[in-house]
Homo-oligomer: A and B are copies of this chain.
Amino acid sequence: MPRTTKNSPRQDVHTVAKLAKVSIATVSRVINHKPSVDPAIADRVWKAIKKLNYHPNYGARAMVSGRSHMLGLLVSRITNPFFPELIEGFEQIASINGFEIMISAVGQQPGYGQEAVRRMLSRNVEGAAIMTHGMSAADLEEFKIYGTPLVFIDAAPAPDLGSVVQLDYENGIRDAVQHLAVLGHRRIWFISGPLDRCSSTLRQQAFIKAMEEIGVLNAAAQCIAGDHTLEGAIRAADILFQKAPTAVICSNDLTAVSVLRKAAEKKLQVPSQLSVIGFDDIDLAKFVSPPLTTVSVDRYRLAQAAFHSLMQRLADPQTLPPLQLLPVRLVVRQSTSYAPSAAQELPPL
Protein backbone atom coordinates (compact mmCIF):
# COMPACT_ATOMS: atom_id res chain seq x y z
CA MET A 1 0.00 0.00 0.00
CA PRO A 2 2.03 2.96 -1.25
CA ARG A 3 0.99 5.55 1.25
CA THR A 4 3.95 7.91 1.13
CA THR A 5 2.32 11.14 2.28
CA LYS A 6 1.82 10.29 5.92
CA ASN A 7 -0.09 13.10 7.48
CA SER A 8 1.17 13.89 10.93
CA PRO A 9 -1.56 12.93 13.34
CA ARG A 10 -3.17 15.53 15.48
CA GLN A 11 -1.11 15.99 18.65
CA ASP A 12 -2.53 16.17 22.14
CA VAL A 13 -1.47 17.38 25.56
CA HIS A 14 0.03 14.02 26.39
CA THR A 15 2.49 14.10 23.53
CA VAL A 16 3.49 17.61 24.45
CA ALA A 17 3.81 16.64 28.11
CA LYS A 18 6.02 13.72 27.27
CA LEU A 19 8.30 15.78 25.04
CA ALA A 20 8.59 18.54 27.62
CA LYS A 21 8.92 16.04 30.44
CA VAL A 22 6.10 17.50 32.47
CA SER A 23 2.56 16.46 33.34
CA ILE A 24 -0.43 17.23 31.17
CA ALA A 25 -1.68 19.56 33.88
CA THR A 26 1.37 21.73 33.42
CA VAL A 27 0.90 21.78 29.68
CA SER A 28 -2.63 22.95 30.24
CA ARG A 29 -1.44 25.66 32.59
CA VAL A 30 1.11 26.88 30.09
CA ILE A 31 -1.38 27.02 27.25
CA ASN A 32 -3.75 28.99 29.40
CA HIS A 33 -1.04 31.35 30.60
CA LYS A 34 -1.54 30.57 34.26
CA PRO A 35 0.99 32.59 36.24
CA SER A 36 1.90 29.71 38.51
CA VAL A 37 4.34 28.04 36.16
CA ASP A 38 8.10 28.15 36.37
CA PRO A 39 9.30 30.23 33.42
CA ALA A 40 11.96 27.71 32.49
CA ILE A 41 9.41 24.92 32.39
CA ALA A 42 6.93 27.04 30.50
CA ASP A 43 9.60 27.67 27.95
CA ARG A 44 10.26 23.97 27.56
CA VAL A 45 6.58 23.38 27.04
CA TRP A 46 6.26 26.11 24.44
CA LYS A 47 9.17 24.65 22.56
CA ALA A 48 7.51 21.24 22.55
CA ILE A 49 4.27 22.81 21.36
CA LYS A 50 6.02 24.52 18.47
CA LYS A 51 7.98 21.43 17.59
CA LEU A 52 4.95 19.19 17.52
CA ASN A 53 2.82 21.78 15.82
CA TYR A 54 0.27 21.32 18.51
CA HIS A 55 -3.08 23.14 18.56
CA PRO A 56 -5.36 22.86 21.55
CA ASN A 57 -8.60 21.13 20.77
CA TYR A 58 -11.28 23.72 21.39
CA GLY A 59 -14.00 21.11 21.40
CA ALA A 60 -12.49 19.26 24.29
CA ARG A 61 -11.76 22.49 26.06
CA ALA A 62 -15.34 23.63 25.59
CA MET A 63 -16.63 20.39 27.00
CA VAL A 64 -14.84 20.60 30.29
CA SER A 65 -14.92 24.35 30.73
CA GLY A 66 -18.54 24.64 29.68
CA ARG A 67 -17.67 27.54 27.43
CA SER A 68 -17.81 26.95 23.70
CA HIS A 69 -16.69 30.42 22.61
CA MET A 70 -19.15 30.02 19.79
CA LEU A 71 -21.67 32.65 18.83
CA GLY A 72 -24.61 32.18 16.51
CA LEU A 73 -25.38 34.57 13.71
CA LEU A 74 -28.82 34.40 12.15
CA VAL A 75 -29.15 36.29 8.90
CA SER A 76 -31.85 36.51 6.28
CA ARG A 77 -31.70 35.15 2.80
CA ILE A 78 -32.81 38.45 1.41
CA THR A 79 -30.29 40.13 -0.78
CA ASN A 80 -29.38 42.91 1.51
CA PRO A 81 -26.54 45.33 0.99
CA PHE A 82 -25.87 45.15 4.72
CA PHE A 83 -25.29 41.47 4.75
CA PRO A 84 -21.60 41.23 3.89
CA GLU A 85 -20.35 44.03 6.04
CA LEU A 86 -22.50 43.00 8.95
CA ILE A 87 -21.15 39.47 8.87
CA GLU A 88 -17.63 40.65 8.28
CA GLY A 89 -17.78 43.14 11.10
CA PHE A 90 -19.23 40.64 13.48
CA GLU A 91 -16.82 37.93 12.53
CA GLN A 92 -13.86 40.22 12.92
CA ILE A 93 -14.71 41.64 16.30
CA ALA A 94 -15.67 38.16 17.50
CA SER A 95 -12.43 36.54 16.41
CA ILE A 96 -10.40 39.30 18.02
CA ASN A 97 -12.14 38.43 21.25
CA GLY A 98 -11.58 34.72 20.90
CA PHE A 99 -15.02 33.81 19.67
CA GLU A 100 -16.02 31.85 16.65
CA ILE A 101 -19.22 32.41 14.77
CA MET A 102 -21.65 29.97 13.31
CA ILE A 103 -23.81 31.36 10.57
CA SER A 104 -27.24 30.32 9.57
CA ALA A 105 -29.23 31.89 6.77
CA VAL A 106 -32.86 31.44 7.69
CA GLY A 107 -35.05 31.69 4.66
CA GLN A 108 -38.51 31.27 3.38
CA GLN A 109 -39.05 27.69 4.47
CA PRO A 110 -41.15 27.79 7.61
CA GLY A 111 -39.69 25.95 10.54
CA TYR A 112 -36.18 26.46 9.32
CA GLY A 113 -35.69 29.08 11.96
CA GLN A 114 -36.28 26.57 14.74
CA GLU A 115 -34.03 24.14 13.00
CA ALA A 116 -31.25 26.71 12.95
CA VAL A 117 -31.76 27.41 16.63
CA ARG A 118 -31.51 23.73 17.48
CA ARG A 119 -28.32 23.39 15.51
CA MET A 120 -26.84 26.32 17.35
CA LEU A 121 -27.90 24.93 20.67
CA SER A 122 -26.33 21.61 19.78
CA ARG A 123 -23.10 23.43 19.15
CA ASN A 124 -23.46 25.15 22.49
CA VAL A 125 -23.48 28.70 21.25
CA GLU A 126 -23.01 31.08 24.13
CA GLY A 127 -25.14 33.72 22.52
CA ALA A 128 -26.68 34.67 19.22
CA ALA A 129 -27.13 37.78 17.11
CA ILE A 130 -30.31 37.98 15.09
CA MET A 131 -29.87 40.07 11.96
CA THR A 132 -33.06 39.09 10.23
CA HIS A 133 -36.77 39.67 10.53
CA GLY A 134 -37.41 36.05 9.67
CA MET A 135 -37.27 34.79 13.26
CA SER A 136 -40.48 34.70 15.25
CA ALA A 137 -40.69 34.58 19.01
CA ALA A 138 -41.73 30.94 18.67
CA ASP A 139 -38.63 30.16 16.65
CA LEU A 140 -36.51 31.62 19.39
CA GLU A 141 -38.33 29.84 22.22
CA GLU A 142 -35.57 27.32 22.78
CA PHE A 143 -32.96 29.99 23.15
CA LYS A 144 -35.15 31.48 25.83
CA ILE A 145 -35.49 28.18 27.65
CA TYR A 146 -31.76 27.85 27.93
CA GLY A 147 -31.27 31.48 28.73
CA THR A 148 -29.01 32.04 25.74
CA PRO A 149 -28.28 35.76 25.44
CA LEU A 150 -29.68 37.25 22.27
CA VAL A 151 -29.13 40.53 20.51
CA PHE A 152 -31.36 41.85 17.76
CA ILE A 153 -30.44 44.21 15.04
CA ASP A 154 -33.28 46.62 14.52
CA ALA A 155 -36.07 44.95 16.45
CA ALA A 156 -37.00 41.98 18.58
CA PRO A 157 -40.14 39.98 17.74
CA ALA A 158 -41.12 40.24 21.40
CA PRO A 159 -39.89 42.29 24.34
CA ASP A 160 -37.44 40.78 26.83
CA LEU A 161 -36.13 38.25 24.34
CA GLY A 162 -32.84 40.03 24.22
CA SER A 163 -31.13 43.33 23.78
CA VAL A 164 -31.70 45.49 20.73
CA VAL A 165 -29.32 47.57 18.67
CA GLN A 166 -31.07 49.96 16.36
CA LEU A 167 -30.14 52.69 13.96
CA ASP A 168 -31.14 56.19 14.82
CA TYR A 169 -33.69 56.42 12.05
CA GLU A 170 -35.39 59.40 13.60
CA ASN A 171 -32.40 61.68 13.47
CA GLY A 172 -31.25 60.34 10.14
CA ILE A 173 -34.55 60.98 8.44
CA ARG A 174 -34.95 64.31 10.19
CA ASP A 175 -31.59 65.41 8.83
CA ALA A 176 -32.72 64.40 5.36
CA VAL A 177 -36.01 66.27 5.65
CA GLN A 178 -34.38 69.38 7.05
CA HIS A 179 -31.72 69.34 4.38
CA LEU A 180 -34.50 69.42 1.80
CA ALA A 181 -36.49 71.98 3.73
CA VAL A 182 -33.53 74.33 3.81
CA LEU A 183 -33.28 73.96 0.05
CA GLY A 184 -36.85 75.16 -0.20
CA HIS A 185 -38.63 71.85 -0.65
CA ARG A 186 -42.06 71.22 0.84
CA ARG A 187 -43.55 68.79 -1.65
CA ILE A 188 -41.39 66.00 -0.33
CA TRP A 189 -42.52 62.42 -0.83
CA PHE A 190 -41.39 59.26 0.84
CA ILE A 191 -41.04 55.79 -0.65
CA SER A 192 -41.13 53.30 2.18
CA GLY A 193 -39.85 49.78 2.58
CA PRO A 194 -42.09 46.79 3.31
CA LEU A 195 -44.30 48.01 6.14
CA ASP A 196 -44.48 44.67 7.86
CA ARG A 197 -40.95 45.32 8.92
CA CYS A 198 -40.15 47.37 11.92
CA SER A 199 -37.17 49.09 10.37
CA SER A 200 -39.39 50.26 7.53
CA THR A 201 -42.20 51.59 9.68
CA LEU A 202 -39.73 53.37 11.91
CA ARG A 203 -38.30 55.20 8.92
CA GLN A 204 -41.72 56.15 7.65
CA GLN A 205 -42.81 57.35 11.07
CA ALA A 206 -39.62 59.35 11.35
CA PHE A 207 -40.44 60.94 8.01
CA ILE A 208 -43.94 61.90 9.05
CA LYS A 209 -42.70 63.34 12.31
CA ALA A 210 -39.91 65.30 10.68
CA MET A 211 -42.32 66.69 8.12
CA GLU A 212 -44.59 67.88 10.89
CA GLU A 213 -41.65 69.67 12.38
CA ILE A 214 -41.22 71.66 9.21
CA GLY A 215 -44.91 72.43 9.13
CA VAL A 216 -46.22 69.77 6.74
CA LEU A 217 -49.03 68.05 8.59
CA ASN A 218 -50.40 65.62 6.03
CA ALA A 219 -47.13 63.85 5.37
CA ALA A 220 -48.71 60.42 5.81
CA ALA A 221 -50.46 61.12 2.52
CA GLN A 222 -47.08 61.65 0.91
CA CYS A 223 -45.85 58.13 1.55
CA ILE A 224 -45.72 55.53 -1.19
CA ALA A 225 -45.22 51.87 -0.38
CA GLY A 226 -42.05 50.31 -1.75
CA ASP A 227 -40.36 47.13 -0.66
CA HIS A 228 -36.67 47.98 -0.52
CA THR A 229 -35.96 46.18 -3.80
CA LEU A 230 -34.93 47.69 -7.12
CA GLU A 231 -37.95 46.09 -8.69
CA GLY A 232 -40.53 47.28 -6.20
CA ALA A 233 -39.06 50.74 -6.37
CA ILE A 234 -39.69 50.93 -10.11
CA ARG A 235 -43.39 50.48 -9.42
CA ALA A 236 -43.30 52.99 -6.57
CA ALA A 237 -41.50 55.47 -8.81
CA ASP A 238 -44.28 55.22 -11.38
CA ILE A 239 -46.72 56.36 -8.74
CA LEU A 240 -44.33 59.00 -7.48
CA PHE A 241 -44.02 60.72 -10.83
CA GLN A 242 -47.76 61.27 -11.01
CA LYS A 243 -47.52 63.38 -7.89
CA ALA A 244 -45.26 66.14 -9.17
CA PRO A 245 -42.92 66.10 -6.19
CA THR A 246 -39.91 68.37 -5.93
CA ALA A 247 -38.08 65.91 -3.73
CA VAL A 248 -38.26 62.33 -2.58
CA ILE A 249 -36.71 60.49 0.34
CA CYS A 250 -36.26 56.77 -0.20
CA SER A 251 -36.30 54.27 2.62
CA ASN A 252 -33.15 52.69 1.22
CA ASP A 253 -30.55 53.33 -1.46
CA LEU A 254 -31.73 50.56 -3.74
CA THR A 255 -35.06 52.34 -3.97
CA ALA A 256 -33.30 55.60 -4.74
CA VAL A 257 -31.30 53.95 -7.49
CA SER A 258 -34.48 52.88 -9.21
CA VAL A 259 -35.99 56.33 -8.81
CA LEU A 260 -32.91 57.81 -10.42
CA ARG A 261 -33.23 55.42 -13.30
CA LYS A 262 -36.91 56.15 -13.81
CA ALA A 263 -36.22 59.87 -13.66
CA ALA A 264 -33.58 59.50 -16.37
CA GLU A 265 -36.05 57.62 -18.52
CA LYS A 266 -38.61 60.37 -18.10
CA LYS A 267 -35.95 62.99 -18.89
CA LEU A 268 -36.48 64.50 -15.49
CA GLN A 269 -33.32 66.26 -14.32
CA VAL A 270 -31.94 65.27 -10.95
CA PRO A 271 -31.40 67.33 -8.86
CA SER A 272 -32.65 70.45 -10.67
CA GLN A 273 -36.17 69.14 -11.19
CA LEU A 274 -36.21 66.46 -8.52
CA SER A 275 -34.05 65.99 -5.44
CA VAL A 276 -33.49 62.42 -4.30
CA ILE A 277 -32.22 61.13 -0.97
CA GLY A 278 -31.47 57.52 -0.10
CA PHE A 279 -30.73 55.63 3.08
CA ASP A 280 -27.88 53.20 3.87
CA ASP A 281 -25.02 54.59 1.80
CA ILE A 282 -24.26 51.43 -0.08
CA ASP A 283 -21.13 51.36 -2.22
CA LEU A 284 -23.10 52.04 -5.32
CA ALA A 285 -24.48 55.31 -3.94
CA LYS A 286 -21.32 57.19 -4.89
CA PHE A 287 -21.38 55.81 -8.39
CA VAL A 288 -24.86 56.40 -9.66
CA SER A 289 -25.48 59.51 -11.57
CA PRO A 290 -25.75 61.91 -10.03
CA PRO A 291 -23.98 60.61 -6.92
CA LEU A 292 -26.62 60.02 -4.31
CA THR A 293 -27.23 62.14 -1.25
CA THR A 294 -28.02 59.58 1.42
CA VAL A 295 -28.13 58.77 5.11
CA SER A 296 -24.99 56.85 5.79
CA VAL A 297 -25.01 53.85 8.08
CA ASP A 298 -21.90 52.31 9.53
CA ARG A 299 -22.63 48.58 9.21
CA TYR A 300 -19.35 47.77 10.77
CA ARG A 301 -20.13 49.66 13.94
CA LEU A 302 -23.56 48.10 14.02
CA ALA A 303 -22.01 44.65 14.05
CA GLN A 304 -19.59 45.68 16.75
CA ALA A 305 -22.35 47.11 18.90
CA ALA A 306 -24.25 43.85 18.58
CA PHE A 307 -21.21 41.88 19.61
CA HIS A 308 -20.53 44.04 22.62
CA SER A 309 -24.11 43.83 23.70
CA LEU A 310 -23.78 40.07 23.68
CA MET A 311 -20.56 40.20 25.66
CA GLN A 312 -22.23 42.37 28.24
CA ARG A 313 -25.07 39.89 28.64
CA LEU A 314 -22.56 37.09 28.96
CA ALA A 315 -20.76 38.95 31.71
CA ASP A 316 -23.96 39.92 33.48
CA PRO A 317 -26.88 37.72 32.43
CA GLN A 318 -29.31 39.38 34.83
CA THR A 319 -29.22 42.80 33.24
CA LEU A 320 -30.80 43.51 29.90
CA PRO A 321 -29.12 46.56 28.40
CA PRO A 322 -31.50 49.23 27.14
CA LEU A 323 -32.19 49.81 23.45
CA GLN A 324 -29.02 51.10 21.89
CA LEU A 325 -29.33 53.70 19.15
CA LEU A 326 -26.52 53.98 16.64
CA PRO A 327 -25.91 57.35 15.04
CA VAL A 328 -26.29 57.80 11.32
CA ARG A 329 -25.10 60.68 9.19
CA LEU A 330 -26.47 62.52 6.18
CA VAL A 331 -23.97 62.54 3.35
CA VAL A 332 -24.73 65.26 0.86
CA ARG A 333 -23.69 64.45 -2.69
CA GLN A 334 -25.21 65.68 -5.92
CA SER A 335 -28.74 64.33 -6.05
CA THR A 336 -30.17 67.19 -4.01
CA SER A 337 -30.41 70.92 -4.68
CA TYR A 338 -32.75 73.87 -4.47
CA ALA A 339 -36.39 73.25 -5.19
CA PRO A 340 -37.51 74.51 -8.58
CA SER A 341 -39.17 77.87 -7.95
CA ALA A 342 -38.18 77.72 -4.34
CA ALA A 343 -39.55 81.18 -3.65
CA GLN A 344 -43.17 80.32 -4.38
CA GLU A 345 -43.01 77.04 -2.56
CA LEU A 346 -41.80 78.49 0.68
CA PRO A 347 -44.58 79.11 3.15
CA PRO A 348 -44.29 82.24 5.25
CA LEU A 349 -42.09 81.21 8.14
Contacts and interface: CB of A to CB of B under 8 A. Distances in A.
A18 interface: no
Contacts of A145: 7-8, 53
- By secondary structure, the A interface counts as helix
Given A57-B122, A83-B84, A146-B7, A230 B289 contact: no
Interface in A16-62: 53, 55-60, 62
Given A261-B288, A287-B230, A288-B261, A121 B79 contact: no
Nearest to A291: B261
Contacts of A55: 118, 121-122
B230 A284 contact: yes
A119 interface: yes
A325 interface: no
A222 interface: no
B62 A91 contact: no
5 contacts: A58-B124, A84-B84, A101-B103, A257-B287, A258-B287
A11 to B, nearest CB: 10
Nearest to A6: B147
Interface centre among A77, A100, A101 (most CB of B within 10 A): A100
Interface in A216-273: 230-231, 234, 257-258, 261, 264-265
Contacts of A116: 95
A124 B57 contact: yes
A122 B56 contact: yes
